[in-house]
Amino acid sequence: MRIIAKRLPPDQLISLLLTMFEALGDPEKNCSRAATVMINCLLQERGGVLQEKVPEIMSVLRSKLQEAQGEHVLPAAQHSVYLLATQHCAAVVSSLLGSPLPLDSHTSMLWRALAVEPRLAAQVLGLLLEKMSRDVPFKETRAFLLGRTPDRVATLLPLSATCALFEVLSTPAAGPAVLELYPQLFVALLLRVSCTVGVQLPRNLQAQERRGASPALAARNLEPCSSAVDTLRAVLLRSGSEDVAQRMDLEGGWELLRTSAGHEEGATRLARAMAEHAGPRLPLVLKTLACTHSSAYENQKVTTTAFLAELLNSNVANDLMLLDSLLESLAARQKDTCASVRRLVLRGLANLASGCPDKVRAHGPQLLTAMIGGLDDGDNPHSPVALEAMLGLARLVHLVEAWDLRSGLLHVAIRIRPFFDSEKMEFRTASISLFGHLNKVCHGDCEDVFLEQVVGGLAPLLLHLQDPQAAVASACRFALRMCGPNLACEELSAAFQKHLQEGRALHFGEFLNTTCKHLMHHFPDLLGRLLTTCLFYFKSSWEDVRAAAPLFTGEQHPLPRPHAARQPCLMPPLHRVPGAACRAQAAAAGGPGSAYFGAPDPAEGPGPRGADQGC
């Protein structure tokens, strides 16, 4: 047979091969086996001259696999494809990528035949990565471009390459090749996952799904994002990172990666699992990720930034000497046009407080500059970047050099003050908590300019103890306890410590009465300023805070004792005081809430008690 194969004229070679392929389906097994031997011999000896005929040969092979019933036919076809691929790998890969989706079981087995030898498997994986990245991952329909319902449709070549990668990776023999290409495979598939979230199947495949696919078809892996997630998981399993895959399984990380709402958290959990179970693989992964900050796809930048940011939450960044490269990668994204990327950069920088707290001081100026810049991000009054900056500063201020913090302390205090009354609970909580942390780091060394901000924040903090959101009220408790020592009033600080401990029930009226007594005694010059601030809250949108404002105002002007000589009123007549100020005077003159926290007697109507007495 070898002699025939060597001497056969080229123009007769393909004819003989096609005849042998026909014989594969011969009902006589001996004939079929003989055809298999001849095919393999011809391909081994003369396959080098068949490059132009590869598509035709592959088409005939797939067709015969559909027709033939013998168990020996599939192994024979797999070996034929393997032999052909050793000589014309790119042509075989391109031809198989032309197979219809979803892949049938025979085509899947042909892909797996390309993984039996490590060198060929590495070549095939490299070609598939190139095919997956060559074309755009999706196309936007006219409706999407016009701002209507989002409609992104996956392109066929990257989708086919992703499905093919899964089949090759499913073969145990592919292990060495996967280890060789691990960084490229991991990064390419992570990027593929990120840019296919919410992407639909091509319309012809959608129709196929609606009609119901054949049981022989692997439809479960066809959805664009799911197929990418499954393939990424296969990389981890085949490379020996089973612990990472299992951790993601247990935490629901794979499901999060598939959804728009949970994708960012999914990427974060993947990074956490990698740091814990596959740390030694991270240096090469990060080197491959380095160029992704300039990606044309916003989703890819968000995914990779979330991944990098979470790595700084682990000491693996320091143990593997990755800290500087991670900080550089995040710094390169600080001015990105995408707000989510800028927000995640700040989260990553703040994560240094958890992952490498002993390194914060050395990088203090860089970290503080980034956080303070985040407070001023954009024109959006509820910028998520500003929220992340406040959360990050609260974690960092205790670890940076006092001198580095002092230069920006006043700016931060002024900048976060408007957030105390934000409509969004998260902003109120974060800003008030940060204010408490700023006070904490200033204990015993509070400059006059910052003390002004402390004093200015007292009224909002006291009133927001009645905030309808428990998290905001808790933040106010913490902030007031931290403010106490900076006010240089032991009695007031002791009152804050006594009444505002976490978990202790607060009798607001009693606490406010005690607080105001100390304020009037030790800070009489502040009363006008506190009153002015309180007037703002008479129209607060939060009922409990609105009710607390006249109570606070009244406590600053207590009722005269019974039978005591009536003191002249120093406030202007009620008819000259507009709106909220008039109500504040009424409270001070004995209106509802001046001596207790409650509603007036219904018989008295909405007006203040004692208002008819005049001043």
SS3 602: helix
Q: Domain tally for the chain?
A: 1
Other Cβ atoms within 10 Å of 317 Cβ, number: 27
SS3 138: strand
Report CA-CA distances (Å) from 148 to 141, 142, 167, 194, 259: 10, 9, 37, 22, 20
Cis-peptide into 102, omega within 30 deg: yes
Residue 581 lies in a domain: no
Q: How confident is the model at residue 448 (pLDDT cuts 50, 70, 90)?
A: confident
Residue 30 lies in a domain: yes
Residue 59 lies in a domain: yes
Instruction: Domain of residue 77: give its range.
Output: 1-98
Asked if residues 614 and 575 have their Cβ atoms less than 8 Å apart, the reply is no
Contacts of 567 (CB under 8 A, 6+ apart): 560
The pLDDT > 70 percentage for the chain reads 84
Helix axes 470-483, 425-441, angle to 10 degrees: 20
3-state SS, 358-389, equals HHCCCCHHHHHHHHHHHHCCCCCCCCHHHHHH
- Write down the pLDDT at residue 207: 65
**212, pLDDT greater than 80:** no
Question: What are 378-425's pLDDT values in tens digits?
Answer: 778 789 999 999 999 999 999 999 889 988 899 999 999 999 999 999
Helix (H) or strand (E) holding 152: strand 152-154
Of the candidates 491, 441, 496, the one whose C-alpha atom is nearest the C-alpha of residue 465 is 496
- Write down the pLDDT at residue 469: 96
The amino acid at residue 145 is L
Question: What are 53-104's pLDDT values in tens digits?
Answer: 899 989 988 888 887 766 778 888 898 899 999 999 999 999 999 999 999 9
Question: What are 325-344's pLDDT values in tens digits?
Answer: 999 999 999 999 999 999 99
Asked if residues 194 and 303 have their Cβ atoms less than 8 Å apart, the reply is yes
Report CA-CA distances (Å) from 134 to 127, 187, 268: 10, 15, 27
- Write down the pLDDT at residue 562: 46
**610, pLDDT greater than 60:** no
Instruction: Provide the token pair at 196.
Output: 């296919």
Residue whose pair of structure tokens reads 């929220």 in the numeric block? 387
SS3 198: coil
Question: What are 277-303's pLDDT values in tens digits?
Answer: 999 999 999 999 987 777 889 999 999
Other Cβ atoms within 10 Å of 423 Cβ, number: 10
Asked if residues 330 and 308 have their Cβ atoms less than 8 Å apart, the reply is yes
Cite the beta strand spans of 319-371 per DSSP E: none
Separation of first and last alpha carbons in the chain: 122
**214, pLDDT greater than 90:** no
**Torsion sign (Cα): 294, 297, 298, 299:** negative
**Which residues are paired to 138 by β-bridges?**
154
Contacts of 422 (CB under 8 A, 6+ apart): 381, 382, 428, 431
CA dihedral 127, 133, 134, 135 (to 10 degrees): 130
Mean pLDDT of 118-124: 96
Residue whose pair of structure tokens reads 């471009």 in the numeric block? 145
Helix (H) or strand (E) holding 315: none
Of the candidates 154, 133, 135, 164, the one whose C-alpha atom is nearest the C-alpha of residue 202 is 154
Residue 34 lies in a domain: yes
Asked if residues 34 and 71 have their Cβ atoms less than 8 Å apart, the reply is no
Contacts of 404 (CB under 8 A, 6+ apart): 364, 365, 368
Residue whose pair of structure tokens reads 């055809």 in the numeric block? 35
Residue 498 lies in a domain: no
Of the candidates 494, 476, 473, 388, the one whose C-alpha atom is nearest the C-alpha of residue 439 is 476
Rounded CA-CA distance 368/412 in Å is 10
The HSE-up count of residue 570 (CA atoms within 13 Å, CB side) is: 2
Residue 66 lies in a domain: yes
Residue 576 lies in a domain: no
**Torsion sign (Cα): 136, 142, 143, 148:** positive
Rounded CA-CA distance 158/136 in Å is 8
Of the candidates 385, 316, 386, the one whose C-alpha atom is nearest the C-alpha of residue 352 is 316
| Phi, then psi, of 140 in degrees rounded to 5 | -95, 130
The HSE-up count of residue 161 (CA atoms within 13 Å, CB side) is: 26
Contacts of 53 (CB under 8 A, 6+ apart): 14
Other Cβ atoms within 10 Å of 233 Cβ, number: 21
Instruction: Provide the token pair at 147.
Output: 């701002």
Question: What are 485-534's pLDDT values in tens digits?
Answer: 998 889 999 999 999 998 889 999 999 999 999 988 888 888 888 888 89
Rounded CA-CA distance 92/107 in Å is 12
3-state SS, 29-90, equals HHHHHHHHHHHHHHHHHHHHHCHHHHHHHHHHHHHHHHHCCCCCHHHHHHHHHHHHHHHCHH
Buried b (16+ CB within 10 A) or exposed e, 589-604: bbbbbbbebeeeeeee
The amino acid at residue 118 is P
Q: How confident is the model at residue 581 (pLDDT cuts 50, 70, 90)?
A: very low
SS3 566: coil
Q: Write the DSSP symbol of residue 106.
A: H
